[in-house]
Structure 1
């Protein structure tokens, strides 16, 4: 498993000094690695940079400064860093209206298992979802899921060589697909070795 080195994190004081000035760059990086799928779903592809920022934010917000607490945050978020053979992502299902959200989350049970990426000319790669814990009940799915797309060597080579890639969902109540924009795909290709 890839990890975030402890020495790559700033102290609470150092992070507090750069938190606001670094925010626009972090937002831009997060936006570059986010793909909207239809009107109500977005997939935020993680990397070491996004995960490190999330850990720093949690340490800052919760005022965690002891070594055991810092290590606990690293251990919680490090599984989201891709390891060279996959992409890892946070999927958000977004319905602003609470009543619509409740209804749709009930209709979308199992959606996390129907997410895929499809490199041009190759088979779909379906997400392995929520490996840390189950995020749905018999009544509804969660609005947040964690996905891992595990690639074959052939797929990795194709993506790194510039093959187009689709992101999609074939859930019966949310069929959608879109091409991953070239600038996003270039960033994601950098996650693969």
Structure 2
């Protein structure tokens, strides 16, 4: 739960030298933080490392080295780092065929409010979605949403004590559940929570 500060970022030159190794590390790390809900929904649970990588990549792509631009990236991405009582996830709706994607994005309006996590022995916790801006309208939803799950202290304690975790979606047009969540993912997510 380390904050990403300006001083903790690599310069463009230093990042260029370390990028391949850093990228490999992040890809391996994300495997233990990615969950597929059925065939079309992927959740990537963000943390300090995944967001640090995103910031470094954006600075690299945009060739940003001025302080104001760097601070803009920090301001945009830092809210996606969990703060000890929550999980933050990027949800992607995946439909490889464009026509199918357009059709499903009209059917799945509001899906971001139907994603939940449930710790064994506790009530489901529904996502707080898209706090930065609305990503759907009356005609369609977005293929990408940002979710936050606020876990109460009893759920956090139960997870640290080994309780099972389930994650699902219960939208009228699409339902899926992963129960139990694979242990490697559950353990990685527990690392985001302060007991």
TM over 0.5: yes
The alignment yields a C-alpha RMSD, in angstroms, of: 1.2
**TM-score w.r.t. structure 1 length?**
0.97
CA distance in 2, matches of 1:83, 1:152: 13
1:19/1:2 Cα in 2 relative to 1: closer, same or farther (>3 Å)?
Answer: closer
1:46 paired with 2:82, answer no
Q: What does the per-residue CA deviation read over 1:67-109, in whole Å, with 9 as the maximum and x for residues that have no partner?
A: 1110110000000000000000000000000000000010000
CA distance in 2, matches of 1:30, 1:85: 20
- Structure 2 unpaired stretches of 5+: none
- Is the CA contact (8 Å cut-off) linking 1:105 and 1:141 kept in structure 2? yes
Point out 4+ residue stretches in structure 1 off by more than 6 angstroms. Answer: none
- Structure 1 unpaired stretches of 5+: none
CA distance in 2, matches of 1:32, 1:56: 21
**TM-score w.r.t. structure 2 length?**
0.97
CA distance in 2, matches of 1:131, 1:26: 25
Q: How many residues align?
A: 193
CA distance in 2, matches of 1:49, 1:11: 17
Deviates more, 1:8-17 or 1:23-32: 23-32
CA distance in 2, matches of 1:66, 1:21: 25
**Structure 1 position 4, deviation (Å):** 1.1
Q: Which residue of 2 aligns with 1:81?
A: 81
